[in-house]
Structure 1
Amino acid sequence: MPSSGVRPDPAPAPGATGSRPGPDFDAVRQEFELPAGFPPEALAEAEAAAARAITAEPGRIDATDIELVTIDPPGSKDLDQAVGIERVGRGFRVHYAIADVGAVVTPGGALDAEVRRRGQTIYLPDGSVPLHPPVLSEQAASLLPDGPRRAVLWTIDLDADGAVTATDVRRAVVASRARLDYAGVQAQIDAREELHPAIAALPEVGRLRRAAAVARGAIELELPEQEIVQDDDGWTLRVRARLPVEDWNAEISLLAGTVAADMMLRAGIGLLRTLPAPDAEAVAGLRRAAERLGFDWPDGASAAEVLAGLPDDGSAPVLALRRAATTLLRGAGYAAFGAGAAPPPDPGHGGIGAPYAHVTAPLRRLVDRFGTEICLAVAAGRTPDSWLLEALPQLPDVMSASDSLAGRVARACLDRTEAARLAGRVGETFEVIVLRAAGPEGEPGEVYLPDPAVIARCAGAPKAGVTVAVTLTAADPSTGRVLFTAIDQ
């Protein structure tokens, strides 16, 4: 389903200027018992780590001559990745610098214990609950373009078709040249302006990697992505258009994650993000849905190819088919192996079409630090440290619980914003797109209201992929409950 759409670094809420009640995000914090700060011991460790000068260290190379930039949403401060791509012969060399959180978090210390409790950064529209103290995540460890930073540098060589030919990973000191945002880079691309040298080849590499992903069966849903933003009347929702440069940049992150997973599987130790490949029954169900909605499914075409070939027009049939495709991606989890535990029988990630490991967002996600440390040990030909081996079996449960919490918080924020935006309009009629029809036992279906961008339950919703008139029958900002009822045609 759509992402939470919460902004990574929103401005403080000014409060609604109209009569509409606003969503209570503090109530969400209280409901899910989110921490308001860090323990003093953890903060002290973070501040001491931030104050340490970046000096020559054994095994850390000087890579400050490499052209690197960050590309993130506007306002982001927790910058995990910096990218630089250069042409080498007929192929490419991808430099991907990742914040070296392992250099600032001491295993077994107070900060390590606290981040293991948190699991990941939790984002809300009016501020985040960070995994690490901001003195690290938004300053000393973030790959900001204000001086050298410790990083883990992936160097991945690709051939002319974008296939991997060589991989290296090691600790380094890097210097980002610029802090770019997606909209600005996309505007340059659309205007055919010259890009920063670090990303001049990103569009070409991104397209090559995306084509390879579709060929190997990667599933991209591309459902409406709800975003909670502020307007003159408080908080509202809109659909955030995903830009091509975001997809290309994401392919670089996926490239590093698939390379890391391959490295782990070869070494027999690691931590994978897993998702079963779509089974035959699910694919057959999607094919039947495509036929009902009027889409062709060419002989021999995969679900990935059919979805990738859909028009990007936001029409009711397209949105309904993309919603139906969510049944292909179920059962996500984590699999730790090594130190006596065998790799999972199916190590793949069905949404990516290949084995995959989280290693590119350590400032925001706990597991990435551990995955990175495993890859560094494997690349150096040494056995991972004992603290790492001891932690591996515990991490799947920690991350699954953290993912669940993050998802529930994001959903609660969306629900309350949707309900607050529609409060006072109960009884009004709206035109909506049916994403999922009501069930045979009377269970509500699901509909999409484009403005404001609301996805909610609907009693009596007819077949998917049509536009219908509905009445708003419930909108409760205190619980987030929104319900429409289809008007008999």
Structure 2
Amino acid sequence: MLTPRQHITDELAAGFEQIRAGLEIPDTFSPEALALAERRAAGGVEQFLDQLDADGTRRFTDRREIELTSIDPDGSMDLDQAFAIERSGGNGGDGAGAGAPDGYLLHYAIADVGSWVQPGDAIDVEARRRGMTVYAPDRRIPLHPPILSEGAASLLAGQDRPAVLWSVGLTATGEIDTIAVERAVVRNRRALTYQGVQAALDSGTDDDQFLLLRELGSLLIAAETRRGGISLELPEQTVVQVDGHYEVRYDAAYEVESFNAQLSLTCGMAAARLMIDNGVGILRTLPPAGPGVFDALRVSATSLGVAWPADMGYPEWLRTLDATTPEGAALMNLAARTLRGSGYLAFDGNLPEGHEHAAIAAPYAHVTAPLRRLVDRFANECVLAAVAKQRPAAWALDALETLPAIMAKTGAAASQVDRAAVDLSEAAALLHLVGHEFDATVTASGKGTATLLLRDPAVIERIAADLAIGTTVRVRLVSASLDGPSVSFELV
């Protein structure tokens, strides 16, 4: 006989399938794509070592001497990136003091999906249909056949792989100085997890790469703040499997995740610079928020008693907020309104207005996740063409104008899958708690509706009431049902 928990788990699993089916998320690959992926994977890295470009030079350099490290969520097999950081100089220039570095050299290897997938082949057709990997609580629906994305093309530890290798020189203050990009065969020495690396740093590790990652990552965050870039660490709900059942949690962000993200952002800014200089490419964009949004934030901060000195810029102030407090959670929720309207901008010739990414405060491109995101493969081809001072291949140029629409459609579907899975899991988590009372933080309010954030269970729901943001209220769960799903609270 199934236990009540098992019944709910089975209902959730069926619900997740229904969500994907309703949003027409592709469930299987075509037989042609699977067969082609298997043949390509069987060729191994050896098929790339002796490839020649049109001018007779080797297409791939051998850079297996670089001792790369990757850091990903636990259980990840689709490893897009690996890094190695070196110090450069060391004479303490710019008044940094004796022994301080002149700068850093960041090696950043990105899985070279463009060497496994050919324009118009069965894998390419499937990838354009999918747009990106979709992550659901019970499974992930990959962009490429797993034999490639989690096998032959993934930067797995101890395996030789074709990669797009970035070597970015950075100043002692974290500014991009030099950029080099090449196709190379690399070997990831170790595939680690965020949790493991964070634990090592917290315990006082002497691992050189961990310490350099923290050092350089901190400098890059400071450089981002100086540019006017922002990062939001909002409580993010995630649904995880625990001992055979599903739980809704707030995803705990490790400090090392921010450091690792800065390496990716650095390559994205470098990619944008190369494409802009070459006059053709595709950028990730975000329009700036209007001044009224920031005025409203200042008013809200004042009403909540949160200091925002007149001489402190928005990015710097944002980093002072603590999302674990009611006031901080509410203000960060309001701050998220400054990050609306992201998209992609393809260009060939004159660079259009609105080409920057407001949160990064610089032109930016997606290039570091080609196993999981379609646009990155084409952006990398544009980057490699820029380095060679050439126009991208015709097949890449032809795709540029179609990519923004593809990414918008598939990105929206992926977000809907995530939101619907969380809504369903929230209802499941609350089924046995009807009648119970909870403390909740009001993170948004308006037009007769308020958004409530519960800490335990990890639930974010709305209630029909006008409430002051940043306050803590007591609510009672009136009903919860998997049908819909639906959840209802009332004020106590």
1:334-349 equivalences under 5 Å are 334-338=344-348, 342-349=350-357
1:40 to 25, 31, 37: 31
From the superposition, tell whether residues 300 and 381 of structure 1 become closer, same or farther in structure 2 (CA, over 3 Å). same
Q: Which residue of 2 aligns with 1:230?
A: 241
Cα deviations across residues 205-252 of structure 1 (Å, max 9, x unaligned)? Answer: 000000111121222221112121233582111122211100000000
- State how far apart, in whole Å, the 2-side matches of 1:317 and 1:256 are: 35
Q: Which residue of 1 aligns with 2:288?
A: 277
From the superposition, tell whether residues 425 and 301 of structure 1 become closer, same or farther in structure 2 (CA, over 3 Å). same
Alignment of 1:384 with 2:378, yes or no, is: no
Is the Cα contact below 8 Å between 1:15 and 1:234 reproduced in 2? no
Q: Which residue of 1 aligns with 2:139?
A: 127
- State how far apart, in whole Å, the 2-side matches of 1:37 and 1:319 are: 40
Q: Which residue of 2 aligns with 1:408?
A: 416
In the TM superposition, structure 1's runs of 4+ consecutive aligned residues that sit over 6 Å from their partners are none
- State how far apart, in whole Å, the 1-side matches of 2:311 and 2:36 are: 57
Matched residue SS, 2:198: helix
Which residue identity is paired with 1:465? G
Most deviating of 24-33 and 67-76: 24-33
From the superposition, tell whether residues 60 and 296 of structure 1 become closer, same or farther in structure 2 (CA, over 3 Å). same
Q: Which residue of 2 aligns with 1:482?
A: 487
Is the Cα contact below 8 Å between 1:16 and 1:232 reproduced in 2? no
Which residue identity is paired with 2:60? R
- State how far apart, in whole Å, the 1-side matches of 2:409 and 2:385 are: 27
How far off is 1:273 after superposition? 0.8
Q: Which residue of 1 aligns with 2:66?
A: 66
Matched residue SS, 2:288: coil
Which residue identity is paired with 1:407? S
Q: Which residue of 1 aligns with 2:151?
A: 139
Q: Is there any run of 5+ residues in structure 2 with no aligned partner, and where?
A: 52-57, 90-101
Which residue identity is paired with 2:78? D
- State how far apart, in whole Å, the 1-side matches of 2:232 and 2:210 are: 26
- State how far apart, in whole Å, the 2-side matches of 1:290 and 1:114 are: 48
1:350 to 339, 352, 358: 358
Is the Cα contact below 8 Å between 1:336 and 1:343 reproduced in 2? no
Matched residue SS, 2:483: coil
1:107 to 116, 119, 124: 119
TM-score normalised by length of structure 2 = 0.92
- State how far apart, in whole Å, the 2-side matches of 1:174 and 1:366 are: 22
Matched residue SS, 1:350: coil
How far off is 1:114 after superposition? 0.9
Matched residue SS, 1:206: helix
Q: Which residue of 2 aligns with 1:462?
A: 467
Most deviating of 477-486 and 59-68: 477-486
Matched residue SS, 2:433: coil
Q: Which residue of 2 aligns with 1:56?
A: 50
Paired residue total:
467
Q: Which residue of 1 aligns with 2:230?
A: 219
Q: Is there any run of 5+ residues in structure 1 with no aligned partner, and where?
A: 1-13
Matched residue SS, 1:201: helix
Is the Cα contact below 8 Å between 1:84 and 1:199 reproduced in 2? no
CA RMSD between the two structures: 1.7
From the superposition, tell whether residues 17 and 162 of structure 1 become closer, same or farther in structure 2 (CA, over 3 Å). same
Is the Cα contact below 8 Å between 1:170 and 1:376 reproduced in 2? yes
- State how far apart, in whole Å, the 1-side matches of 2:286 and 2:159 are: 39
Which one has more relative contact order, counting CA pairs under 8 Å at least 6 apart?
A: 1
Aligned-pair identity in percent equals 45
